Every structure is written in C-alpha cells, then in structure tokens.
Amino acid sequence: MFEKIYSPVHKLEFALFNNLFVKRDDLIDPYISGNKWRKLKYAIQKLQTEQKSHIVTFGGAYSNHLLATAAAAARLNLKSTAFVRGEAVKNEILMLCTLYGMKLIFTDRESYKNKIELYKTHFGNDKAAYFIDEGGASAEAISGCAEIINELPLAYDHIFCAVGTGTTAAGLLKGIQQNNLETKLHMIPVLKGGLFIKDEIAKYVSISEHLILHTDYHFGGYAKTTPELTGFMKTFIAKTGLLIDPVYTAKMFYSIVDLEQKGIIKKEDKILAIHTGGLLGILGMKEKLE
C-alpha cells in the first residue's frame, strides 16, 4: 500500500504569481491523507518488522492523524486503538475512524497529557501493541517526509509548509540538506507561540539557514479562524479550484500572498506549497464557512 503514490506537482494561477506550484500530497489518498501518509509509511514498516499488529495512537476529536491511522490499519489488517482527547463526542471523523474498526478511548485532558503512562496502563501487557505518538511524530515520520523533496521535478527558491508538531517540516529540511539544495523552507505554525518549533526540529535535524519560521499566521491559534482567513480561503478555492482547509493549508497559502505583499518573496520566485492534505478538517468548521 505504501509503494503506490500519486502526488504530482501542479502549477497554480493565483494572485499574479508566475511560478507558484503545489505538491499535491492531498491526492495520495482521501483518508490516509497528505503528510499523514508520509508519516505512517516507515512507522508501519517498523511495526511490521517488529511483528506487531496493533497500533495504539493519540489525537484530538478532529484529528487527521487518527483517520489516516484507522484507514491504514484497516487496509493492512492491523488492529487500531486511539486515545481521543477530551469528553466523548461524535463527529464525522470519529465516525469514519469507527467504520475503519478503530477503537476509541475518550480520555480527559489531564490524563491525556501523559501518553506513555496511558499506553502502559492499558496496553503494557499487549505484546502486539505498537505506540505511535500524537500526529504520528517520530524519527520514521521524518524519513517519510524527507522523501517529498526527492520527488520534486525542479529546484524551488521557496518551499512552504503548514506546521503542527514540526515533524513534516523536519523531514523537508532533512530532504533539502540531503539533496544539497539552496531552497528556503518557510514554516507556518498553525498554533500560537510557534517559536518552540525550532527546538522540536532540532531534536531530529540540524538547523540550517534554509529554515525560516513565520509565527504570525496562526489567526488566533490552533483550529482558530478569523473572517479574514475564511474570506481568503473562499476566494482561493473559487479562483484556483484547489480545496484547502482552515486549520492548516489556508494559513500557509495566506502567508505566501502576505509575504509577497511585504516584499519578502517575489512574484517571479519559484515557490512550492506543500498541500499536506487533511481536507476533512473542513467538516469541523462547517458553521464558520457558510
């Protein structure tokens, strides 16, 4: 399943950019979407090498990672369990997870903080169990994301990536370094106080001058939006025909336009936006998008 990949690079006609491209990782799979597919690839390979058959993982109630894990597990005939942060709720994502056979354990926010402890308490005796962290963060995930760079058809001046845990960005940075590229990697944290991301990345990859962190595009914090962002998103989707979501990719595309207006990047620069997928996240924001 992880051999087959469909992730072309498409040119985008938007806001007078001459060389704006998008890496369509959203097309890899509708449910094992975007960077979540990249992150699971080697984690699941490791699980199989260790002859485990039960993925135990963690996420919020609208987690793209939970859905990706549930779908991947079902296709590979693995068992999956997720600790879901917060009180029991129902929504479209969790419904799909359940259809894929994932077992959900709703966990209060306090207990959720100690994931290793939760894992040990519930599955310490389960010989088949395999721990995958929230969002799929791991060294294996970074190797998977680094492969994005190997697939690129040309050298770009700038690559843009929406950032949650920083794992995908760490992989991209690794790929850029391994391929000896001069490309700048612009990271757009979608949460408030994104300065910590550099330390997260430094745990896995040496920080180099390729890396540029923009911490002002969170629009109030994780899963927060403003009318400005949703307005931008609606225009973008209608003009390009490319679907983006308010939690991650809309913030990234907004930053590209804003940085051009500020003169930090140029219209004629070769720019690549990574579409990290996660489009079902739109369902968590229905009211704000009407």
Ligand X SMILES: *Cc1c(COP(=O)(O)O)cnc(C)c1O
Nearest-approach distance from CB 268 to ligand X, in angstroms = 27
Cβ-based nearer residue to ligand X, 34 or 175 = 34
Residue 206 structure tokens? 């040496």
Q: Show the binding pattern over residues 106-135: x = contacts ligand X (CB under 6 A), - = does not.
A: -----------------------------x
Q: Tell me which stretch binds ligand X (CB under 6 A): 5-13, 32-40, 87-95, 216-224.
A: 32-40
Give the residue nearest to ligand X (CB).
278
Out of 59, 60, 194, 277, the only residue in the binding site for ligand X (CB under 6 A) is 277
Residues 231-250 that bind ligand X (CB under 6 A): 248-249
Whether the CB-CB separation of 253 and 236 falls below 8 Å is answered with: yes
E strands within the chain?
9-12, 20-24, 54-59, 79-85, 103-107, 129-131, 158-163, 184-189, 211-213, 271-275
Cβ-based nearer residue to ligand X, 23 or 65 = 65
Cβ-based nearer residue to ligand X, 278 or 284 = 278
Residue 188 structure tokens? 């757009």
Helix, strand or coil for residue 115? helix
Size of the site for ligand X (CB under 6 A): 19
Cβ-based nearer residue to ligand X, 53 or 285 = 285
Nearest-approach distance from CB 273 to ligand X, in angstroms = 11
Helix, strand or coil for residue 265? coil
Q: Is 66 left (phi over 0), alpha (psi -120 to 50) or beta?
A: alpha
Nearest-approach distance from CB 277 to ligand X, in angstroms = 5
Cβ-based nearer residue to ligand X, 53 or 62 = 62
Out of 229, 253, 276, 285, the only residue in the binding site for ligand X (CB under 6 A) is 276
Whether the CB-CB separation of 211 and 173 falls below 8 Å is answered with: yes
Tell me how far apart the alpha carbons of residues 166 and 172 are, in angstroms, rounded to a whole number: 10
Tell me how far apart the alpha carbons of residues 205 and 174 are, in angstroms, rounded to a whole number: 6
Cβ-based nearer residue to ligand X, 28 or 53 = 28
Tell me how far apart the alpha carbons of residues 176 and 173 are, in angstroms, rounded to a whole number: 5
Residues 59-98 that bind ligand X (CB under 6 A): 64-65
Nearest-approach distance from CB 34 to ligand X, in angstroms = 5
Cβ-based nearer residue to ligand X, 217 or 248 = 248
Residues 151-170 that bind ligand X (CB under 6 A): 162-169
Cα-trace Rg, the chain: 18
Site membership for ligand X, residue 35 (CB under 6 A):
yes
Whether the CB-CB separation of 177 and 208 falls below 8 Å is answered with: yes
Residue 3 structure tokens? 């051999």
Longest dimension (CA), the chain: 58
Nearest-approach distance from CB 23 to ligand X, in angstroms = 12
Q: Note the residues at the interface with ligand X (CB under 6 A).
A: 34-36, 64-65, 135, 162-169, 248-249, 276-278
